[in-house]
Structure 1
Amino acid sequence: MLRNHRSRQGASKCALPLLTVCAALAAPVTAQAQVTLDVIGPHEYDLPVGFEPFNVFVQYAAFQNGARVWDGSGDDRRAAAKTRTIVGLSKYVRFWSPESNPNIGLAYEVILPEVGVRNDATNSSASGIGDPLTGPAIWYKPTPNSTLGFQTFFQVPVGNQDVGGGDGWKNLSSLFWDVQFDRVSYTADAGFVFFGKSTAADARPATLFHTNHRLGYKLSDAVQPFIALDYERQGRWTNRATGAEVAASHETTAGIGVMFSYYGNQSITVRYSRGVSGESHGLTDSFNLKYAYAW
């Protein structure tokens, strides 16, 4: 929780807002792992209205062990090529509440992915900058302890092709909501990823649906453990470049983590997540870090 930004209405606290999107760096394939937007944490959408403008910088890091996959029957199998992936997301967000309508909040953000992939089977690695993302968000508070909003981001295909960049435009749009109780917090979203034409596949991948949920319990102002539940599903589509049909895929993941808040304007969140069911999808086995600083 931020406590150093005062609203025009005299409120003394402002939520630490961490709007985000995942590093959707390439057209989905059957070995894709980690669910879209699974980087969110507790209080992700606990956002203020009627506040003075402020800024947030967030650095995310995700370490994914790609040793296992879900096959087409939903069984957990060893991956044909074991990979280890590190994805970083560097994000700047500007927040403001319009003077003409202080009952809503607005944000605009720019996100730059950094990616490193290690393939154990071929003893090779690749690293580079992924496709950047940018877009706005808008929200209001139906009650003093709840938030409802919408966010939309465009992913621009200018990243390094060695890490899946530069293949096609994407749009990530979702509704988000948050409810705060005395010690319990619930924050979540649900949305879609719409794909432009993939250069590599000479086709437009099927639309992807995702939803992400975080339920936290505040032990103190500084420490909040939480549980995570994430899900995504993508329909079947055809890769015209190869003539191969890409099977429909889905995965459900569960995780546990803890958020540490300090100095009133900073936080560090750690989380471990693992896939619990899926089909034709990489099996998530990831350790996630997030650092946020607001000023």
Structure 2
Amino acid sequence: MSRMSRGQTGPLSIRIAIAALSLSAAGAASAITFDVIGPGEYDLPVDFAPFIVFVQYATVQDNEKVRDARGKKVDGDGSQQIVGLSKYVRFWSPEWNRRIGLAYEIIVPEIGVRNEGSGRYAGGLGDPLTGFAAWYRPTDSSTFGIQSFLVVPVGNDSVSDTNWKNLTSLLWNWKGGNWQVTGNGGFVWQGERTNGVTPVLNWHTNNRFGYRLHQYLEPFIGLDYEYAGAKDGAPKSWAFDVGGGVVLHTFKNQSIALRYSTTVDGESHAQNDSFNLKYVYVW
């Protein structure tokens, strides 16, 4: 496996969740957990020399619509949300078992929400995320593993969720010819917020289906789903998003992924309408 193919597939990133700026008109939740992943996100190596990856994600989301409790689109607050995620990852394979791969991550969100209609703006550094991932390769063309991350509520007051979180999920990847499938499935546990609210457990899965059309081009589609049950009078919340994009394999140690994503069905949830970018640099 080349150095670039390893670097393009760093594990996971943080969900774009900003409770303090949620679309409360319909009790809406924010973007689906881990929907920032790209194709080959979990095509991870084993028995390799340590290396480092930097990833920058960026998302522009228009909040013109939300899904109400009956699944209908209704007017949102009209704001525009811009989120960046800066991720540093250290990869290594332990000497005691070279068939296993490990990674440690630190992720820092940069958040801005602007509402021109009301003249309001909020922004700053969000709650950072840190944690580990571990995986192995049952076959030369497949990967299976687990990841678990802690969100620490020390972000800027205007964009912090104010509570501790744990994001744990299984991860997988399969390659066959020019095709590649990568995905995850897991949960988000949240502690009590400063306002006394303890959010319900969230379940999610994210999958990407890519086809290496050319040395430099890999078009893909994405399917994202999450569900949170009803609690304390609040209705259940769920969403199913579909998106499409392309990866530009520009250099041996760099790549750029571009994607558009939208919600096709859901209840009491944000209506996704976002453009997404992912930039990877390996050294």
TM range, smaller chain: over 0.9
- Per the TM alignment, residue 172 of structure 1 is displaced from its structure 2 partner at its CA by 0.5
> Which residue is 1:57 aligned to?
54
Instruction: Answer whether contact 1:152 1:173 (CA < 8 A) is retained.
Output: yes
SS at match of 1:82: coil
Q: What amino acid is the match of 1:214?
A: R
d(CA) in 2 for partners of 1:230, 1:21? 14
Count the aligned residue pairs.
Answer: 278
Question: For residues 220-262 of structure 1, what are the alpha-carbon distances to aligned partners after superposition, in whole Å with 9 as ceiling and x for unaligned?
Answer: 1211000000001111223xxxxxx322100000000000112
* 1:5-24 equivalences in 2 (<5 Å): 14=6, 16-19=8-11, 20-24=13-17
- Per the TM alignment, residue 126 of structure 1 is displaced from its structure 2 partner at its CA by 1.1
* 1:140-179 equivalences in 2 (<5 Å): 140-163=136-159, 165=160, 167-179=162-174
- Identify unmatched segments of 5+ residues in structure 1: 6-12, 239-244
SS at match of 2:71: coil
Instruction: Answer whether contact 1:221 1:261 (CA < 8 A) is retained.
Output: yes
Q: What amino acid is the match of 2:152?
A: V
Pairing partner for 2:258 from 257, 260, 270: 270
1:286 matches 2:265? no
> Which residue is 2:44 aligned to?
47
Pairing partner for 2:243 from 247, 252, 255: 255
d(CA) in 2 for partners of 1:182, 1:130? 40
> Which residue is 2:68 aligned to?
71
> Which residue is 2:182 aligned to?
187
Percent identical residues: 49
Question: For residues 109-150 of structure 1, what are the alpha-carbon distances to aligned partners after superposition, in whole Å with 9 as ceiling and x for unaligned?
Answer: 000000000123412111100000000000000100000000
d(CA) in 1 for partners of 2:197, 2:70? 26
> Which residue is 1:223 aligned to?
217
d(CA) in 1 for partners of 2:270, 2:16? 15
Q: What amino acid is the match of 2:258?
A: V
Q: What amino acid is the match of 2:2?
A: R
Superposition TM-score, scaled by structure 2 size: 0.94
- Per the TM alignment, residue 53 of structure 1 is displaced from its structure 2 partner at its CA by 0.2
d(CA) in 2 for partners of 1:126, 1:23? 15
Q: What amino acid is the match of 2:10?
A: L
Superposition TM-score, scaled by structure 1 size: 0.91
- Identify unmatched segments of 5+ residues in structure 2: none
- Per the TM alignment, residue 15 of structure 1 is displaced from its structure 2 partner at its CA by 5.4
Aligned CA RMSD, in angstroms, stands at 1.5
d(CA) in 2 for partners of 1:22, 1:125? 21
1:119 matches 2:115? yes
- Per the TM alignment, residue 198 of structure 1 is displaced from its structure 2 partner at its CA by 1.2
